[in-house]
């Protein structure tokens, strides 16, 4: 299965993403520690934060991936780590969300670090364009899995009624490997109750982390053509 993030784009959608990112970055205050999310929408946020740093804002960022670290370095956003402190706010994207603020994350294979940073943050702000909105979540659930455990995790996902698809990459022959050195798969279900499935996946030994974020997001900034709707 190819990366589910290969979902096209277009200028209109990029503008919605940027609107959402700008709205979230406006919440950052002088002195804040900011969790830096991963993905194209979060990248807009890191770049917008960089502009505010240029104008004198005093912040430190905690990246959620090698990718977001690289963007922060390029934008001169000073960095710190969970060894030193925890974020006042994290700004990160999502692959899908529902009205209860359940999120599916991990299209960029960074959901394990993203969840660690989000759970450590005082305020969790999600940035999306309106195409991510769902009445019922049914997006494939990313799984970061210990390579050794793939057969037993596959079996458990199938017992839960899903299909287990190891994620592949065009960048090399073989599986997508996370920043933590584990393989990444997608668990595909027709539809699911996010809290119940999250509970089940929490209990699967060999799954380092899954991409269902339940009870974590405080607000979702939804970029639309005519502005940003903040869903709380
Ligand atoms: O969870 C993520 C990475 O692991 C991303 O936040 C998610 O995939 C959304 O990315 P984009 O803003 O590019 O659509």
Closest atom of ligand 1 to CA, residue 110 = 4
pLDDT at 9: 56
Nearest to 77 by CA among 104, 49, 103: 49
Buried (b) or exposed (e) across 118-156, using 16+ Cβ within 10 A? bebbebbbbbbbeebbbeebebbbbbbbbeebbeebbeb
Residue nearest to atom 8 of ligand 1 (CA): 107
CA distance 177 to 171: 11
Q: Which residues pair with 229 in a beta bridge?
A: 222
CA angle, residues 15, 194, 154, in degrees to nearest 5: 105
Mean per-residue pLDDT over the chain, rounded: 95
Domains of the chain: 10-134+214-231 (3.40.50.1360), 141-209 (3.30.70.260)
pLDDT tier, 171 (very low <50, low <70, confident <90, very high otherwise):
confident
Answer whether 110 contacts ligand 1 (Cβ < 6 A): yes
pLDDT for residue 1 is more than 50: no
Answer whether 185 contacts ligand 1 (Cβ < 6 A): no
Closest atom of ligand 1 to CA, residue 142 = 4
Lowest model confidence (mean pLDDT) among 2-11, 70-79, 121-130, 159-168: 2-11
pLDDT for residue 55 is more than 70: yes
Q: Is 114 a catalytic residue?
A: yes
Task: Indicate the top mutation candidate among 41, 44, 97, 116 to test ligand 1's pocket, ranked by most ligand atoms within 8 A of CB.
Answer: 41
Asked if ipTM goes beyond 0.90, one says yes
Answer whether 178 contacts ligand 1 (Cβ < 6 A): no
pLDDT at 170: 85
Q: Which residues pair with 145 in a beta bridge?
A: 183, 207
What is the 118 CA–ligand 1 centroid distance (Å)? 14
Kindly tell me the sign of the dihedral angle through the C-alpha atoms of 3, 130, 141, 215. positive
Average of per-residue pLDDT across 163-178: 92
pLDDT for residue 144 is more than 70: yes
CA angle, residues 177, 180, 185, in degrees to nearest 5: 40
Q: How far is CA 83 from the centre of its chain?
A: 21
pLDDT for residue 7 is more than 60: no
Instruction: Take residue 13 and report the two structure tokens written for it.
Output: 């959608």
What is the 68 CA–ligand 1 centroid distance (Å)? 11
Task: State how far the alpha carbon of 29 is from the alpha carbons of 12, 49, 53, 227, in Å.
Answer: 29, 11, 11, 22
pLDDT tier, 173 (very low <50, low <70, confident <90, very high otherwise):
confident
Residue nearest to atom 7 of ligand 1 (CA): 94
CA distance 21 to 134: 20
Answer whether 94 contacts ligand 1 (Cβ < 6 A): yes
Identify the active-site residue in 75, 114, 144, 200: 114
Q: Which residues are annotated as a binding site for substrate?
A: 38-41, 92-95, 105-108, 132
Task: State how far the alpha carbon of 141 is from the alpha carbons of 21, 79, 144, 153, 165, in Å.
Answer: 24, 30, 10, 13, 10
Answer whether 67 contacts ligand 1 (Cβ < 6 A): no
What is the per-residue pLDDT across 152-167, written as a single tens digit (0 to 9) for each?
Answer: 999 999 999 999 999 9
- Listing DSSP states for 59-110 in one string gives -EEEESSHHHHHHHHHTT--B--TTT---SEEEE--SEE-TT--EE--TTS-
Average of per-residue pLDDT across 76-95: 98
Instruction: Take residue 2 and report the two structure tokens written for it.
Output: 């190819």
Average of per-residue pLDDT across 126-131: 98
CA angle, residues 2, 213, 199, in degrees to nearest 5: 100
The DSSP output letter for 135 is: S
């Amino acid at each position: 299965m190819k990366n589910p993030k290969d979902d096209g784009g277009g200028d209109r959608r990029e503008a919605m993403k940027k609107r959402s990112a700008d709205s979230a970055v406006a919440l950052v205050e002088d002195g804040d520690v900011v969790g830096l999310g991963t993905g194209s929408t979060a990248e807009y946020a890191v770049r917008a934060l960089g502009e505010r740093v240029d104008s004198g804002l005093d912040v430190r960022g905690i990246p959620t991936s090698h990718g977001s670290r690289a963007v922060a370095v390029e934008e001169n956003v000073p960095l710190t780590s969970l060894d030193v402190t925890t974020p006042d706010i994290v700004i990160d994207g999502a692959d899908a969300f529902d009205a209860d603020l359940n999120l599916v994350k991990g299209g960029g294979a960074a959901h394990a670090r993203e969840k660690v940073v989000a759970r450590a943050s005082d305020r969790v702000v999600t940035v999306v364009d309106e195409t991510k909105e769902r009445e019922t979540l049914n997006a494939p659930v990313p799984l970061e899995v210990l390579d050794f455990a793939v057969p037993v995790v596959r079996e458990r996902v199938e017992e839960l009624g899903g299909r287990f698809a190891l994620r592949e990459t065009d960048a090399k022959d073989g599986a997508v490997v996370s920043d933590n050195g584990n393989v990444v798969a997608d668990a595909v279900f027709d539809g699911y109750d996010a809290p119940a499935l999250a509970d089940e996946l929490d209990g699967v030994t060999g799954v380092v982390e899954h991409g269902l974020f339940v009870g974590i997001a405080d607000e979702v900034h939804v970029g639309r053509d005519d502005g940003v709707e903040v869903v709380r």
